[in-house]
Every structure is written in C-alpha cells, then in structure tokens.
A and B are shown apart, each in its own frame.
Chain A
Amino acid sequence: MTARQRASLLVFPTILVLALIVIFPMIFSISVSLRGYDIRIQEHPFTGFKNFIAILTNRDFYNACLITGIMMAAELVFELGLGLLVALMLMNLPAARKVFQPILLIPMMVMPVVIGYLGRLVFEVRSGPVNYFLNLLGRESLGWHASPDLALVTILILRLWQWTPFVMAVLLAGLLSLPLEPYDSAQVDGATSRQIFFYITLPALKPVVTLVVIMRALEILQTFDITYILTLGGPGDSTMTMSLYTYLLGFRYWDVGQASASAWLIMVPLSLLVTWFVRFMEKGERGAETK
C-alpha cells in the first residue's frame, strides 16, 4: 500500500461518519424545500420552486438579510479593529499578559442564552446599571433594546462583548509569532512605526485575519440566542436577523419547507463568498512566499 493509499484510509472514517450524519438531513431539507411542508398538515404536495419564490418576494426576508448584513459588517469591523487595538496594547505589556489573557476569554464561555438574559438586566432602561452609569456621567438614559433605533446596537454591543476578547487573543498570538527579521531590517532602513505597521505587520497578519473572519462570519450567521432572548426580532422587526427569521419560520410557524428554502438561499452564496475570500487571501500569501 502506498503512503497515499494509507492516508486515504485515515481519512475514510471521518468522511464516513460525516456522510452518515449529514446525508439524511441534507436530502430531507432539499426535498422539503420543494414541497409545501407544514408538520401539522398531513399532505406535503410537491410545489416546485414556490417556496423559493415566496421567500424572494417576501419583504421580511430582505429585511432580515439587511439586518444580518449590517450586523455582520459592523461586528467584523469592530471586532477586528478593537481586537487589534487591544492586542497591540498587550504586546507592550509582556508581564501583564499572563493575567489578562485567560480573563479575556471568559465572555466567550458564557452561554449565549444567558448573555441574552444578562442583557435584559444590564440594559434595562429604568433599572439597568448601564443607564445608571450614563446618568452619573450626566447623560440621558438611552432606550437600548426598547428603542427601534438602538436595539440592533444593543445586540451588537453584547456580541462585541462576547467575541472581541477571542478575536484579540487570536490576533495577539499571531502578533507574537511574527518573525523579527523584517522589523529589524525595517528599523535599519529607517522606517517610521506607521510604515512598519501598515507594510509589515498588517500583511503578515493576513492568514490569522482570514481564519478569524471565516470563523466569526459563520458563527454570526448561525446563532440567534441573544436576539431571541433580548428582543425576539423587535421592536417591530428592527433586530430580525436571518437566523431568527429562519427559526421562527421553521419552528413556530412550522413552514419547514420555506425555512429550508431560505436556508439554502443563504448557504449557497455564502459558501461561494467565503471560498472566494479564502482564495483571495491565499493568493497574497502565495505571492509573498515566492519572493
């Protein structure tokens, strides 16, 4: 047996397990997306693309896409930005790092449902400590998750609280592992710290950033616990994210067909987007490597 064949043998169990667990749900969801499937009604007639069309002509679907898009963009930008900032700060505090790091990972370990409940307590307009501090600083209380304008911001803040420390930890580890030679030669050449940052640090962080973006993007799309607990998509539908929308559709209204259709509608373009993103980032890497 060649080494290659042995390697295939190694991979086989994993593929087998995954295929077994995933095959039925996948076929089911594709089949169901082409039917009128309400678990409470006995008939499941074949309806072709009716579900897809129903979704694509539904204003609520686009609203959910918009909200999710805004959340995704804002969350990625702020998590990377803040994470990088704090990571750079910690780079300059080698002694304190050991203490800060494990503490910073705590938010990620709290159950998302619980974070939703905590959000209700902490941001409550009347009795929450956040408004209390705002008042102490002389500012007016804000509406937070009771305000149609601020509800999404409130959710964003909670999610930033939950995940920025993780992003920071990954970026910090990436920064710590950067080779020193480019920095030394840059300093010899007389580059400013700004130039060093933009032309050496940032490009070198590309693989780490790619990893983070992909992990975060997927997670943002799939979880809805905080939105579910804190606002249930409200006030109105100002915080109705894709995941919450699909959940309510498939799980409260029992329109499993439409929910599946909506899930596929998101999944396909998304995976293409991520693939393109990975290739884009890797191209830069490979380009750098050939130098």
Chain B
Amino acid sequence: MRKRSRVLLKRSLLTLLMICILIVVLFPFYWMLLTSIQPRHELMNYPPKFVTRTPTLEFWGYTLKRAMPAFMNSLAVAAASTVIAVALGAVSGYAFARYRVGGDTLPFWVLSLKFFPPVVAIVPYFLMMLTLRLIDTRLAVIIPHLIITVPFAVWMIKGFVQEVPRELEEAAMIDGSSQLGVIRIITLPLIAPGLVVTALFCFIWSWNDFMFALILTRNLSTTLPVAIAGMREAHGLMWGEVSSTAAMGTIPIIVIAIILQKYLVRGLSLGSLK
C-alpha cells in the first residue's frame, strides 16, 4: 500500500511541475494573444494588465483583411519547399542509405550545404533572380529555401531509412516482391513518421524565413514574416496587428501538428522501429 501512495505522490508532484512548465511555455503565447485583442492604450501599461475588460477585434479585422495575401503566399511557398524537399530527400535518402552512392563524400557535401550562411547568399540570389526575371514571384523565394530544406530532408530521411533493417526488405524480396513493391509495402510505412517529421520541420523553416523573402519580393509575393515586420506606425510598432497576424501565422502549424501528433512522436525517435 505504502509503495502505491509513494508512486502516486511522485506522479502528482511531477504533474504539478509539468503544469508549471506548461504555464511558462505558454505564457508568451498568451501574451501575444492578449496583445492582439487589447485596446491600444493598455499596451505597456504599468502595472501590466493580464486580462482586458474591453477587448477589441480591430486588429484581427486588419489581419484578416490585409494580411491574407501574405498568408497565402507563405502557405504556397512553404508547401512547395516542403514537397520538393521531401520528394528529393526521400528518393536520394533511400539511395544513400541502401547503396552508399558516392561513398562518404557525396552525402557529406549535401550535408555541408546546410552550413552555408544564408546572409552571404542574399546578394547573389538577388542578382540571379533579377537575371531570370523571377523577382517578386513565389518561385524566387522557394529556390533559396531549397538550399536549406533539401539537404536537411536528405539527411533526415537517410537516417530513418538506415533504421529499417535491410533484412526486412531482403526477406520480402526473396518472397518474390519487386524492389518498388517492397519499398511501398514495407519501408514507406515504417519511415512514414520520419517523413512527417521532416516535412513539418521543412515547412516551419520555410514558413519562418524572413531574409530571402524580404529581398526577393516586392509586393506581390511577400510572405507573412515580411508583412509582420512591415507593420509599423510612424515610429512605433503596430503591436496589436503584429500580434494578431503572428497568431494567425502560428495557428495552421499548430493544427497540423496536433493532427499528426501520433506520427510526430513516433517520428522523433530514431530507433522505435523494433
């Protein structure tokens, strides 16, 4: 009996601690939501106001009216970067994992591209897109994003494929299935969580990028981070509008993450496929 209550005590204490941690984690997000409905004059109030008795919807109105094009641009760009990255990553990741194409050096070169500081690439990409007449198109933003997302996807998926024991595939092939069939029936389902995780991270990275989007767009294909940065008053910030737009920018990713939760948990592990 005593041991049971000890375990219960431990569990309750831990739960309490976790709740505290959750509060800390969620607090800035709460502050963001609060600022998005708080009337202007309550901003930076001393003492700080933790709830507002007079919420206003004007900032959300502004966001839904003015920031929608940027939102759609962000969505398209991030989706495209993700799809391309995962597609290329899956195909080459599998090849690297199973056949060691290019030995050690080729995969390492792909990985090393992640080290390339984006800052240095700004001017050359601007010149490139200028020559290709792609400035201010969604494609112009997607291309530099691929530098980061594709190597990442290749590397991640290679790792996930390596976790699937080769024997599984070989056994299936002995039983008569084609290689493609084996991949479809055995490997793919096993690395599906990994693909989901990779896709999510690629999406988030592309969604949050500010620098490339700033330079390579003018006003037709601006993305959300650039739009948010532009929300200034004469000298100060449009805090309410920034908060509501930022919140709108976070919600789709959170929704996707919740839906794909199961895959996320499984995908985040490297050895869960026993």
Binding site for B on A (CB under 8 A): 3-4, 7-8, 10-11, 13-15, 17-18, 21-22, 24-26, 28-29, 32, 39, 86, 89-90, 92-93, 96, 98, 100-115, 117-118, 121-122, 124, 126-129, 132, 161, 165, 169-170, 172-174, 176-179, 207-208, 211, 218, 221-222, 225, 243, 246-247, 250-251, 256, 259-260, 263, 266-267, 270-271, 274-275
Task: Given A21-B144, A174-B269, A266-B117, check contact A4 B250 (CB 8 Å).
Answer: no
Contact of B122 (CB < 8 Å), options: A251, A267, A275:
A251
Contact call A118/B96, Cβ cutoff below 8 A = no
A253 vs chain B, min Cβ distance (A): 13
Task: Given A8-B95, A18-B150, A22-B116, check contact A13 B123 (CB 8 Å).
Answer: no
Contact call B119/A28, Cβ cutoff below 8 A = no
Contact call B95/A260, Cβ cutoff below 8 A = no
Residues in B with CB closer than 8 Å to A274 are 115
B128 vs chain A, min Cβ distance (A): 6
Binding site for A on B (CB under 8 A): 10-11, 14-15, 17-18, 21-22, 24-29, 31-32, 35, 44-48, 50, 84, 88-89, 91-92, 94-96, 98-99, 101-102, 106, 108, 110, 112-125, 127-128, 143-144, 146-147, 150-151, 154, 159, 179, 204, 207-208, 210, 224-225, 228-229, 237, 239, 242, 246, 249-250, 253-254, 257-258, 261, 264-272, 274
Contact call B18/A246, Cβ cutoff below 8 A = no
Task: Given A11-B101, A18-B151, A127-B46, check contact A121 B31 (CB 8 Å).
Answer: yes
Q: How far is the CA of A138 from the CA of B112 in the complex (A)?
A: 50
Q: How far is the CA of A251 from the CA of B122 in the complex (A)?
A: 9
Q: How far is the CA of A251 from the CA of B125 in the complex (A)?
A: 14
Contact of A246 (CB < 8 Å), options: B113, B117, B123:
B117
Contact call A111/B246, Cβ cutoff below 8 A = yes
Indicate the member of B151, B257, B261 with the most A CB atoms within 10 Å: B257
Contact call A271/B91, Cβ cutoff below 8 A = no
Q: How far is the CA of A172 from the CA of B272 in the complex (A)?
A: 12
Contact call B124/A29, Cβ cutoff below 8 A = yes
Residues in B with CB closer than 8 Å to A24 are 124, 128
Q: How far is the CA of A132 from the CA of B22 in the complex (A)?
A: 19
The prevalent SS among residues of B at the interface is helix
B14 vs chain A, min Cβ distance (A): 5
Residues in B with CB closer than 8 Å to A14 are 88-89, 91-92, 110, 150, 154
Contact call A28/B14, Cβ cutoff below 8 A = no
Residues in B with CB closer than 8 Å to A11 are 91-92, 95-96, 101-102, 106
Residues in A with CB closer than 8 Å to B257 are 102, 105, 109
Cross-chain pairs A/B with CB under 8 angstroms, 11 sampled? A7-B98, A14-B150, A28-B127, A102-B254, A107-B25, A117-B246, A121-B44, A172-B268, A221-B117, A267-B115, A267-B117
Contact call A260/B270, Cβ cutoff below 8 A = no
The prevalent SS among residues of A at the interface is helix
Contact call A15/B124, Cβ cutoff below 8 A = no
Nearest A residue to B28 via CB reads A118
Nearest B residue to A158 via CB reads B28
Contact of B270 (CB < 8 Å), options: A17, A174, A218:
A174
Contact call B120/A173, Cβ cutoff below 8 A = no
Contact call B242/A13, Cβ cutoff below 8 A = no
Contact of A110 (CB < 8 Å), options: B154, B159, B246:
B246
Q: How far is the CA of A174 from the CA of B268 in the complex (A)?
A: 7
B48 vs chain A, min Cβ distance (A): 5
Given contacts A110-B250, A165-B25, 14 further A-B contacts (CB under 8 A): A14-B91, A14-B92, A17-B146, A21-B143, A22-B147, A103-B22, A103-B26, A112-B210, A114-B228, A132-B47, A161-B24, A161-B28, A174-B271, A207-B270
Residues in A with CB closer than 8 Å to B96 are 11
Contact call B250/A106, Cβ cutoff below 8 A = yes
Contact of A111 (CB < 8 Å), options: B117, B147, B224:
B224
